Every structure is written in C-alpha cells, then in structure tokens.
Structure 1
Amino acid sequence: MRSLELTLRSTGIDADAAYQRITEFERYPEFVDEVRSVVVHPGDADGPLASDWDIFFRNGPLRWSEIDYFQRDARRIVFEQTDGDFELFRGSWRIEPVADGCEVTFEVTFDFGIPSLAGVLEPIATKVLKEAIATIVGSLLGNVTVIGDPATAAVIKARFAGADERSASAA
C-alpha cells in the first residue's frame, strides 16, 4: 500500500474558483494522455456523484469507479473506489486560500493488491499520479508551483515551458 500527498500553489485564482474547476473531472482527459476518459454520473444536487475512470498505465488500461463526496463549504472532495482494478484507492482534494491565490493538496492511498509487484508498480504509479495531477491542476488553474517535491516540480516546469514555447511558435 502506498500513500502520497502533492501540494501546489496557484496565483491569480481564488480558492472558490479553483475548487469549482477541480470538480470538473470530465475535463481531465484534455490535459494528460494517461487519462483516457472520465465519465461522471451526477447524483442529487448536494449529494455525492459517481465517476468511472479509464487510465493508461504501464502499457495497458487501469479502470475503476469511484464515489466522490463534495464538501463545498470546506472546499474539499473525498473519493473512494467502489469497483475496479485497485484493491484500495481513496483520497481527497483540499483547496485553501492563500494571500495571492490558493493552495491545492491532493492526497491518495492506493494498493494494487499484488504484493509481489508492489515494489515495482507502486513507485511508478506514484510518479505518474503526481505528474498527472500537477499537470491537470496547472492546466485548470494556471501559474502553478509544486511545493516540497523538487522532482515533480522539475518535470512540471519543463512540461509547461514546452507548452509555452509551442504556443509562442504557433503565434
């Protein structure tokens, strides 16, 4: 079993607007190739929703369904797999206001349920998850800095610098 936490800071967007954008799960495939599809099944207006995820991981699909609980006043989302390829997959998003924008914290605990491969699969999954989440948040909110994770920060900085260069050369 593996747990990870990723914190990102975004300037120029307040916590309420950031929370709203992060809840738009169906947009995630626009930002990273690994997320092939997210199908959202809305529930009651103030209740949880169900979502189905299809991710490309290690040369094949990884699929699960989850239930998502929205705590709008606290700007928090709690999720847990209800069915799928993980033995365990649960976590949360938390969005907090800071002086010039917001801070987003993503936490997840997961277990593939294959003890003999945990030493190989879980570190790879951790890296893929961190980079994908940072890319998605950066794409949704703009001007994102990864806090306390230099390896992920370097990848994201290079990824967004490359996107900025492609946009400039297309103009």
Structure 2
Amino acid sequence: MISHRETRFVPYPAELMYAVVSDVEKYPQFLPWVVALRVLSRSENHLTAEMAVGYGGLRERYTSDIRLDPQMRRVDVAQISGPFKTLENHWRFIPQGEGCEIEFSIQFEFKSRLLHGVAGAKFEKVMLKMTDAFEARAKAIKENGEAA
C-alpha cells in the first residue's frame, strides 16, 4: 500500500480551502488528471461521485463516498468501487491567523498487483501534487474574486 501524509500552512482561510476541496464538480477545471467527474447522489453532507482519472496512457474510473463536515472543515473520501483495493483520503483545515493549516493524508493500493506495479508510481506522483493543485485553485479564486 502507498500512503502519504502532509501538513502545511497556506495563506488562505480554512473556509476557502474547505470550499475548494468540497466542490468536487469543479475538479476537472483545475486538476489535470481528472478527466471527468459526475455526482451520482447528494445529501447535505454526503456525496457519491464517479471520477475518471488519467495520467500518461493510463485511464481509470472509480466511485467514491465523500463525507463533508463544514463545521469541522473536514472532507473524508473512500472508494466504493473501482480498481483500488483501498483508496482513502482525508482533508482537514485548521484556521491559523489569516491562513490555515492543511492536514492531508491518502493511502491506496490497486487490486491488481500488475496494475499496482505499473501505475502505482505514476499515481503516487499525482497524489503528491494534490495539495499544490488545491492551493493554486484557492489562490486563483482569491485573486479573481470568484466564488469558491
């Protein structure tokens, strides 16, 4: 299994960072490896979404359960179906002055050992860039005065 955990400070409010991460329908606009995303069901603090991702020649589609906690500024994601034996990621945004601390963790393992061997390293590179991509999106929103 491949896992990654990081904590970093960003100069953007926790509410903005939470809004960017929880707005999954916009992922194809700013995450280059997200080819398509479709929300299958939605309730106040819960989504089920199907995501198609691509990196190099590899394309995969999977469905995730997404739990949103706006009060605690947490987003928890777990795969329901797809090519992974395990895929979970967790986001938490902690206010710190005018910015916030991001706590991000992800772990994954493909069902197929062959796919894990071939795609695992590529997928890991993508995952290591996740916080950078969300931080860049928050910066663009703040600079352009967009709604998150």
Q: Matched residues in 2 for 1:17 and 1:126: separation? A: 26
- Matched with 1:149 is none
Q: CA deviation at 1:112?
A: 0.7
The structure richer in strand per residue is 2
- Matched with 1:81 is 79
2:138 to 118, 136, 141: 141
- Matched with 1:2 is 2
Residue aligned with 1:73, SS: coil
Q: CA deviation at 1:41?
A: 3.1
C-alpha change, 1:118 and 1:84, in structure 2 (3 Å) is closer
**Greater CA deviation, 116-125 or 49-58?**
116-125
Q: Which letter maps to 2:30?
A: F
- Matched with 2:47 is 49
TM-score under structure 1 normalisation?
Answer: 0.72
Q: CA deviation at 1:128?
A: 1.5
User: Which ranges in structure 1 are unaligned for 5 or more consecutive residues?
Assistant: 144-171
Q: Matched residues in 2 for 1:62 and 1:25: separation? A: 17
User: Which ranges in structure 2 are unaligned for 5 or more consecutive residues?
Assistant: 141-148
Query: 1:115-139, CA deviations, whole angstroms, 9 ceiling, x for partnerless residues?
Result: 35545532321111112x1343123
**Identity across matched positions, percent:** 23
C-alpha change, 1:138 and 1:119, in structure 2 (3 Å) is same
Pair member with larger Rg = 1
- Matched with 1:169 is none
Q: CA deviation at 1:42?
A: 4.0
Q: Which letter maps to 2:90?
A: S
TM-score under structure 2 normalisation?
Answer: 0.82
The structure richer in helix per residue is 1
Structure 1 residue 35 corresponds to structure 2 residue 20 = no
Task: Name the Cα RMSD after superposition.
Answer: 2.0
